[in-house]
């Protein structure tokens, strides 16, 4: 049973049993559920090559398909993170040529002959698709890594501006007037005092060590947890005063007032913020473009796989009719059952040794070597899925 969260690509032999397939099956699917959608899927006539080549492709294509699907999924995750998991915003960016994915697959998909001419061999086409998807994957990895580095640096800078007064940056908290200036012997220390023991600070700070300037304690700022005090001490008792504060659970902030350093930090933060916004915009644009490209590449690969598996299963002539079905998730099981009934006439062809008849016209002599592979088919028709983008 295929997933009820995917669009189904189906191929069957184009013979007397399947002429006018779309006209025949569409009313049945719509009668089964009005939410079902069905459309024609044009499968090109590729150059077949040898049976060995098709078998080799059949073994390799699942690995390529998995890589392609993962690349699409990573691009969607990048977009989702960029828009903060907002489904409505994500929906604006997961487009194929500026249209919804459903429209592309159900109505506008066609083989891109300009980029992937069918006169080329199947292996060459797969290699071309893989080269393009690998390029997208590497490009997105580099862009995402670059953005994450800048974003991480910005977050780290911003984090210094948050938190309580025992942790956060004090650049925007204190001013020049809070400090004693140009004294060779004295300095102003900043002490974060838990609010529950502010009374202790007021009664103790002058006696924590010798050479603390009396009545020099000054409240500078306060939050829910701490009050920040400035206190003047002689430089020679700096270490002793810090130790005594620690013993009394008063937190001395390691801070030196410097207009130049403050200006530098503010400039670095502004630059990081600007750079992050620019890279965010660039990454969003790249992700949007590469999502469109990667979906198209994925569908092209799946169509090649439809063709290869159809040749291996049904043999020659290599003329196949394709349909694409978007099932109603509520009745996907019944929809699949209807398809099984519709294509039950293919059962002898898909489950017998006729499936091993190759493109060169060979018959039973190939059954022994490839029978295990041929018996891996699960349905009477060839089908592969394009997963939906789940919001």
Q: How far apart are CA 135 and CA 38, in angstroms?
A: 33
The C-alpha atoms of residue 112 and residue 104 are separated, in whole angstroms, by 13
- Do 241 and 105 reside in the same domain of the chain? no
Number of independent structural domains in the chain: 2
| 375 confidence band (pLDDT: 50, 70, 90) | very low
CA–CA gap between residue 83 and residue 96 (Å, rounded): 18
Point out the domain boundary residue: 219, 254, 289: 254
211 is a domain residue: yes
What range defines the domain where residue 376 resides? 6-153+275-387
Q: Retrieve residue 333's tokens.
A: 């099981």
**113-124 pLDDT tens trace:** 999 999 999 999
Residues 283 and 146 in one domain: yes
Residue 16 lies in a domain: yes
Cβ–Cβ under 8 Å, residues 71 and 65: no
pLDDT(354) > 80: no
Residues ≥6 apart with Cβ < 8 Å to 308: 54, 57, 58, 61, 122
Residue 346: the pLDDT is 83
| Interacting residues of 366 by C-beta distance below 8 A, sequence separation 6+ | 51, 356, 357, 358
Contacts of 207 (CB under 8 A, 6+ apart): none
Residue at a domain's end among 222, 254, 286: 254
Asked which of 206, 225, 254 is the last residue of a domain, the reply is 254
Indicate the pLDDT class of residue 348, thresholds 50, 70 and 90: low
Q: Does residue 290 share a domain with residue 321?
A: yes
Alpha-carbon gap, residue 306 to 97, rounded angstroms: 24
Model pLDDT, residue 378: 64
142 burial via Cβ count (<10 Å: 0-12, 13-18, 19+):
exposed
Q: Tell me, yes or no, whether 1 lies in a domain.
A: no
Question: Is there a domain that residue 85 lies in?
Answer: yes
183 and 220 share a domain? yes
One domain, residues 192 and 146: no
> 349 pLDDT band (50/70/90 cuts)?
low
- 218 - beta bridge partners? 230
Token pair of 7, please?
């669009």
Question: Is 159 a domain residue?
Answer: no
Helix (H) or strand (E) holding 261: helix 259-314
Q: Give yes or no for residue 16 having a pLDDT over 70.
A: no
For residues 226 and 145, state if they share a domain: no
CATH number at 14 reads 1.20.1460.10
Same domain, 76 and 123: yes
Q: For all residues of the chain together, what is the average pLDDT? A: 89
Question: Considering the domain boundaries, does residue 161 fall inside one?
Answer: no
Helix (H, G, I), strand (E, B) or coil at 18: coil
Domain for residue 77, yes or no? yes
Number of CB atoms found within 10 A of residue 377's CB: 16
The pLDDT value given to residue 391: 66
pLDDT average, residue stretch 277-287: 97
Does 34 lie in the same domain as 96? yes
Same domain assignment for residues 30 and 85: yes
Q: What CATH number does the domain containing 206 carry? A: 3.30.70.100
User: pLDDT digit string (tens) for 161-209?
Assistant: 888 999 998 988 999 999 998 899 999 999 999 999 999 999 999 999 9
**Is residue 235 domain-shared with residue 382, that is, in the same domain?**
no
For the chain, what is the total number of helices (H) and then of strands (E)?
11, 10
In a domain, 333, yes or no: yes
* Main-chain dihedrals φ then ψ at residue 321, nearest 5 degrees: -95, 135
In angstroms, the CA 72 to CA 287 distance is: 10
Burial of 1 (0-12, 13-18, 19+ CB in 10 A): exposed
Residues 91 and 204 placed together within one structural domain of the fold: no
Band of residue 374 on the pLDDT scale cut at 50, 70, 90: very low
Q: Are residues 225 and 341 in the same domain?
A: no
What is this structure's pTM? 0.79
């Amino acid at each position: 049973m295929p997933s009820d969260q995917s669009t189904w690509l189906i191929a069957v032999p184009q013979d007397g049993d399947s002429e006018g397939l779309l006209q025949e099956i569409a009313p049945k699917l719509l009668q089964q559920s009005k939410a079902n959608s069905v459309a024609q899927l044009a499968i090109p006539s590729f150059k077949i090559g040898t049976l060995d080549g098709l078998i080799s492709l059949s073994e390799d294509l699942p690995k390529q398909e998995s890589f392609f699907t993962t690349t699409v999924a990573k691009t969607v995750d990048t977009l989702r993170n960029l828009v903060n998991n907002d489904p409505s915003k994500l929906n604006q960016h997961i487009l194929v040529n500026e249209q919804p994915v459903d429209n592309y697959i159900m109505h506008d998909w066609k083989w891109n002959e300009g980029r992937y001419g069918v006169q080329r061999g199947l292996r060459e086409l797969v290699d071309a698709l893989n080269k393009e998807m690998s390029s997208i994957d590497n490009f997105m990895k580099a862009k995402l890594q670059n953005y994450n580095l800048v974003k991480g640096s910005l977050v780290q800078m911003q984090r210094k501006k948050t938190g309580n007064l025992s942790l956060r940056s004090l650049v925007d908290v204190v001013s020049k007037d809070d400090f004693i200036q140009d004294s060779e012997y004295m300095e102003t220390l900043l002490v974060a005092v838990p609010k529950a023991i502010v009374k202790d600070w007021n009664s103790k700070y002058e006696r924590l060590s010798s050479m603390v300037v009396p009545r020099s304690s000054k409240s500078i700022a306060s939050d829910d947890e701490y009050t920040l005090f400035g206190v003047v001490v002689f430089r020679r008792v700096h270490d002793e005063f810090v130790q005594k504060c620690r013993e009394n659970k008063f937190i001395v902030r390691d801070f030196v007032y410097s207009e130049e350093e403050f200006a530098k930090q503010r400039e670095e933060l502004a630059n990081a913020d600007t750079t992050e916004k620019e890279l965010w915009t660039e990454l969003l644009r790249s992700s949007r473009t590469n999502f469109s490209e990667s979906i198209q590449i994925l569908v092209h690969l799946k169509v090649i796989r439809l063709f290869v598996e159809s040749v291996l299963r049904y043999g020659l002539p290599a003329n196949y009719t394709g349909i694409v079905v978007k099932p109603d998730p509520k009745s996907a099981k019944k929809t699949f059952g209807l398809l099984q009934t519709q294509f039950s006439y293919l059962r002898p062809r898909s489950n017998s040794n006729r499936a091993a008849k190759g493109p060169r016209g060979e018959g039973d002599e190939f059954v022994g070597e490839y029978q295990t592979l041929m018996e891996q088919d699960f349905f009477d028709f060839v089908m592969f899925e394009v997963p939906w983008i789940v919001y």
